[in-house]
Amino acid sequence: MTQKIRIGIAGYGNLGRGVEAAIGQNEDMELVAVFSRRDPASVQLLSAEVPVYAMQDVAKYTEQIDVMILCGGSKSDLPEQGPALAALFNTVDSFDTHAKIPEYFEAVDQPAREHGKTALLSVGWDPAKNIPSAVRKVFWRILLFYIFAILVISLIIPYNSPRLLSNEISDISVSPFTLVFENAGLAFAAALMNAVILTAVLSAGSSGMYASTRMLFALAKEGKAPKVFAKLSSSGVPRNALYATTLIAALCFLSYIYGENTVYLWLLNASGMTGFIAWLGIAVSHYRFRKGYVAQGRNLNDLPYQSSFFPYGPIFAFGLCLIITLGQYYDNFRQGNIVWGEFIATYIGIIIFLVIWAGYKLSKKTRFVAYQEMQFPEAVKSPRS
């Protein structure tokens, strides 16, 4: 595409700032103006060269903007601005009052049709509003689907049941979930659980393929991975990143050549260990973010969301993940039964991480950022528009 899509933002708060940052990551888009109900002189953008105009003057810029992204609030802003702006521009908004979406659709659809415009509704979310909600929901979902499920299984199936895992992976005979169904008198339990597991595996595989491909593409765009993975096909798909992801995923088929336990354990530890390493990084980042924010004299009340139990939360998470990460081979150490092939396979994820981390650090000559040198947005929290 030789000509960039000219974007306007209506309403500049947490959502508007996120949209501005996202536009900067897309080479085929250009932010040309921001419109706000506040005094334009008081609005500080991430991009100083982009002008800010008063919302009442938005009709003057219909020829300069291809798409207007509406970042106002769903309660009062969008019901008024959505229909009005849909008559002037092609619009995209994040209206999230679910019960009123049909009503809002009718209000926006008519002016858009009458003026030959396209309006996309309810396609985004406000991180300041949704992240706290998501954090709370994840906690209760883990409690319900994991902790409660384990509790139910432990109350129904004896810990010494001969049908459970006893010594080695090869000793397992049936899933504990299947045993629960069988004890409940459901003869089709095995087939049902197989269908559930197969569906879950397919879902996890497809979502993992998508997420890994886009993650590699994003890293390449930021210069943190080879540039070849940043290329898009004519249909907008990062095929090089997809090919690389598929090639890595296909390594699982080696289990049929070299023995299922050997290859499976190497792949499992290479991927599973990096998950704990990622959480270690999250704990460190959260801790240093809060410390740096306060060290620069900023007010924590300005943050859209504050995690509870700081600093004990990230410290506990770091310590727990570190113990789990380093203690994978603890039982063998305790018994003095060290098999170096198994030892390397167990900690291969750490080795891969250190090689990639050290290579990037040396090639980019990066360093840890001191608290006083950390950069934060000038206005982390502000009105929606």
pLDDT reading at 384 higher than 60? no
Sheet strands side by side (includes 90-93): 52-54, 29-36, 5-10, 67-70, 90-93, 119-120
**Quick one: pLDDT at residue 140?**
85
Question: pLDDT tens-digit profile of 78-126?
Answer: 999 999 999 999 999 988 887 788 899 999 999 999 999 999 987 766 5
DSSP helix/strand/coil, 225: coil
**Quick one: pLDDT at residue 124?**
60
Relative to beta strand 52-54, strand 67-70 is unpaired
For 67, left (φ over 0), alpha (ψ -120 to 50), or beta?
beta
Give Cα separations from 32 to 69, 126, 325 (angstroms): 12, 22, 48
Buried/exposed code over 82-92 (b: 16+ C-beta within 10 A; e: otherwise): bbbbbbbbbbb
Torsion of CA 116, 121, 123, 127, to 10 degrees: 120
Question: pLDDT tens-digit profile of 318-353?
Answer: 999 999 888 888 888 888 888 887 888 888 888 889
Q: What percent of the chain has pLDDT over 70?
A: 89
pLDDT reading at 187 higher than 70? no
What stretch of H or E contains 119? Answer: strand 119-120
Cα–Cα distance, 247 to 243 (Å, whole number)? 6
pLDDT reading at 1 higher than 60? no
Selection from 328, 385, 380 nearest residue 127 by Cα: 380
Single-letter amino acid, residue 180: V
**Residues in a beta bridge with 36:** 54
**Quick one: pLDDT at residue 312?**
93
- Classify residue 250 by burial, with Cβ atoms within 10 Å: 0-12, 13-18, 19+: exposed
pLDDT reading at 142 higher than 90? no
Cα–Cα distance, 261 to 267 (Å, whole number)? 10
Q: Are 6 and 67 in contact (CB under 8 A)?
A: yes
The total of other beta-carbon atoms located within 10 Å of residue 129's CB is 17
Its pTM stands at 0.61
Average pLDDT over residues 39-47: 89
- Using pLDDT thresholds of 50, 70 and 90, give the confidence band for residue 249: confident
What stretch of H or E contains 264? Answer: helix 260-295
Give Cα separations from 134 to 7, 21, 130, 137 (angstroms): 29, 22, 6, 5
Q: Are 265 and 329 in contact (CB under 8 A)?
A: no
pLDDT reading at 244 higher than 50? yes
Higher pLDDT: 294 or 98? It is: 294
Give Cα separations from 75 to 80, 97, 384 (angstroms): 10, 7, 11
Cα–Cα distance, 177 to 156 (Å, whole number)? 10
Cα–Cα distance, 106 to 83 (Å, whole number)? 9
- Using pLDDT thresholds of 50, 70 and 90, give the confidence band for residue 259: low
Selection from 31, 35, 10 nearest residue 22 by Cα: 31
